[in-house]
Amino acid sequence: MPHGFTLVELMVVLVILGLAGVAVALTAPGDGRRLALEADTLAARLVRAQEEAILTTRAVQVTVDAGGYTFARQDFGDWQPLDDGPFGPVTWNEGTALVGDADHRVSFRFDPAGGARTGEVQLQRDGQKVRVAVDAAGEVVVDGLR
């Protein structure tokens, strides 16, 4: 009885490996998805900032600029940096930029009742744009732009 693999067995293994490779390639996030992921992360952090304002009964502000975004909490009239837990400063991934000039800065402010100061930012990457906006009720919306 000979030992080894037949050609058919080897071909079946190669087909299975090829299908597994295609499945991995199709599910891996591509560069086109990076901007949407970054916008979704900002939106989730804005929602978390709103929750923090409600839970601590202190206004929370998220300041977005060309470098990324930071968090602050109002403490007896002064704004104190909020950088513990999920509120550490965030820098944009390489290739992602805020639409506007280098000094462009937007602040989203959430009050203890859950309301917010309206505002929006646009992010761009590789010719794609996405808008992250907050309305007066504190609702956070992410829209893809062309």
**Domains contained in the chain, CATH given:** 31-145 (3.55.40.10)
Which residue would you say has higher pLDDT here, 145 or 101? 101
By the 8 A CB rule, do 46 and 106 touch?
no
Can you give the pLDDT at residue 30? 55
pLDDT band at 85 (very low <50, low <70, confident <90, very high): confident
Which residue would you say has higher pLDDT here, 87 or 30? 87
By the 8 A CB rule, do 108 and 117 touch?
yes
pTM above 0.85, yes or no: no
pLDDT digits (tens, 9 = 90+) for 8-53: 877 777 878 877 777 776 665 555 688 889 999 999 999 999 999 9
Q: What is the mean pLDDT of the chain?
A: 87
Residue 93: what are its φ and ψ, rounded to 5°? Answer: -65, 150
Can you give the pLDDT at residue 58? 94
Q: Where are the beta strands (DSSP E) in the chain?
A: 60-65, 68-75, 78-81, 90-91, 97-98, 105-110, 119-125, 128-134, 140-145
Share of the chain above pLDDT 70, in %: 92
